A = this chain, B = another copy of it.
Amino acid sequence: MHLSISEENYIKAIFHLQEADGTVSTNQLAANIHTKPASVTDMLKKLTAKRLLLYKPYQGVRLSSEGRKLALEIVRKHRLWESFLVDKLQFGWDEVHEVAEELEHISSKKLVDKLDQFLGNPKFDPHGDPIPDSNGVMHAIRQVNLLDLKPHTKAEVCSVGSQSPELLELLKHKQILIGTRLEVQHKFEFDHSLEIQVEGKGKINISQQLAQALFVKII
């Protein structure tokens, strides 16, 4: 099934919008995609004919299972490219979205899987959003990046941003594991480093780069 960039953008937008409501309205979609409702209706008909949507006129729309599969592929690509931009090319995590919006439309399946492998099969992107694997399986728990925790919040490490040997070496040295409980004490503006209190251990310092690679759930 080959989709144009526009078609892919509709599929992706419906995927994200239906997370909340289960079903998506024409106006919602028009606002999200920055088009007019009339254009949306046209596209909904087209994608329905391709069996990617479940659509009843006036009743809103949601993805078919085939549509959902494609959406997950697009989301996977988006989040892997964001990870690449931040981890390998040293982009700031707040400046990668637009570029990833372009890169997510590159079609090669082989490219995506090799990129995934190159990045160490990360489970979460730099924003803490889960990356679907090549079968479309995505970890459901929404985790938050350690960098985004407010001071004096208690949290538990539940995932790391990648599997790179360098990261793992550092975590071992700092004795941080999945399940480690901690509390952010200070955030330093200058270098975005953190001082954290590790449960059962003392206070340690975490660099911006390390914090970016750690995902926690608030407890």
How far is A108 from B118 in the complex, measured between Cα atoms in Å?
22
Who on chain B is nearest to A5 by CB? B5
How far is A111 from B102 in the complex, measured between Cα atoms in Å?
11
Q: Are A102 and B91 in contact (CB under 8 A)?
A: no
How far is A91 from B109 in the complex, measured between Cα atoms in Å?
13
User: Chain A: interface residue count, which band?
Assistant: 10 to 19
A88 located at the interface, meaning its Cβ lies under 8 Å from any Cβ of chain B in the complex: yes
Residues of the B chain whose Cβ atoms lie less than 8 Å from the Cβ of A114: 89-91
Residues of the B chain whose Cβ atoms lie less than 8 Å from the Cβ of A106: 99, 102-103, 106
> Which residues of A are at the interface with B, using a C-beta cutoff of 8 A?
85, 88-91, 98-99, 102-103, 106-108, 110-111, 114-115, 118
Please give me the 10 A-B residue pairs with the lowest Cβ-Cβ distance, nearest first.
A89-B114, A99-B108, A102-B106, A99-B111, A89-B118, A88-B118, A103-B106, A89-B115, A90-B114, A102-B107
